[in-house]
Amino acid sequence: MTHTAKTNTKKGSVHTIALARKVRLLLWGGAYATSDNHTFERAKREVTKDYKQSDNNTLEIIDVRIDSAQEFIATINKQKVNSIRSLDVFTHGGPDHLYMVSVREENNGGFNNFRWYRYAVHNASLSRPDLSKIQFSNFTNEAKIEFQGCQTAANPTDEDNIAADFSRRLKEAGKIKSSVIGHTTNAVPGIDADDKPRQDYRHGSRAIFKGGRLIKLTKQKGAIDEKWLTQ
């Protein structure tokens, strides 16, 4: 992104300067089933739409499909220091992992057709120890992270889950106003009660962590106010 600015070298002259915008990072995918990945993509679009309405084009939106922990980590680590204003993750989840699989429905081969095999093979998943590989310096001080998958904030009062861990890592990196949001139970995409629900996981029981500590449990629908989160 570039802008023009007045210079002192010549009356009325302007100079083109580069301006690095903060980033909203949306990562989605990693499921065995094609239908699940399509749902993640549709849910990602709902969040993107809200960001476009609220940001007035002041932040850059980066949308990446991921299929493994390595891709998840690499996408975050290649961003600039202090650039990631928000991270939204649309994958299957649990208290200790973001679940991604090394087999895909479209492969249609051998054991891939057996349900037990699909979900036993999670060697592409991101585990809590894998967080040590992430460059948390790339997040802004007021970064908001939201895991859209199931149970990433399970047993929230124990503060012992991947969402709380991610929040602790942010604090250790000096991001003291940052927050992490995760589901305390299974997450479902249908936010509305009508016949054609929007695919949006931002409802149900969610926990908010700051510095690894639980600050709020909420069942609010939709986006959580970012100004409130930075207080």
Note whether residue 165 is domain-resident: yes
Q: What is the DSSP string of 29-64?
A: ---SSHHHHHHHHHHHHHHHHHHHHHHTT-SEEEEE
Q: Is position 150 within any domain? A: yes
Average pLDDT for 58-83: 97
Q: Is residue 3 part of a domain?
A: no
Q: What pLDDT, on a 0 to 100 scale, did the predictor assign at position 7? A: 47
DSSP-assigned letter for residue 194: S
Query: At 81, which CATH number?
Result: 3.40.50
Is residue 214 in some structural domain?
yes
Give the pair of three-digit tokens for residue 129.
């120890």
Count of domains observed in the chain: 1
Domain that holds residue 181: 23-228
Helices (H), 56-90: 69-77
Residue 125 domain-assigned (yes or no): yes
**The token pair that represents 185 in the structure block:** 């139970």
Closest CA to 131 of 183, 69, 43: 69
Domain-embedded: residue 13: no
Model pLDDT for residues 150-182, shown as the tens digit of each residue: 999 999 999 999 999 999 999 999 999 999 999
150 phi, psi to nearest 5 deg? -70, 140
Q: What is the pLDDT of residue 2?
A: 45
End-to-end CA distance of the chain: 30
Residue 7 belongs to a domain: no
Write the pLDDT tens digit of every residue in 109-149. Answer: 454 555 555 555 566 899 999 999 999 999 999 999 999 99
pLDDT value at residue 190: 83
- Quick: pLDDT tens for 16-51: 445 678 999 999 999 988 999 999 999 999 999 999
Q: What letter does residue 81 receive in the DSSP assignment? A: T
Determine the pLDDT at residue 163.
Answer: 98
Q: Supply the pTM of this predicted model.
A: 0.86
Residue among 97, 102, 29, 106 at smallest CA distance from 66: 29
Kindly state the percentage of the chain with pLDDT values over 90. Answer: 74
How do strand 84-90 and strand 139-147 relate by DSSP bridges?
parallel
Six token digits for residue 123: 């060697």
Say if 18 falls within a structural domain.
Answer: no
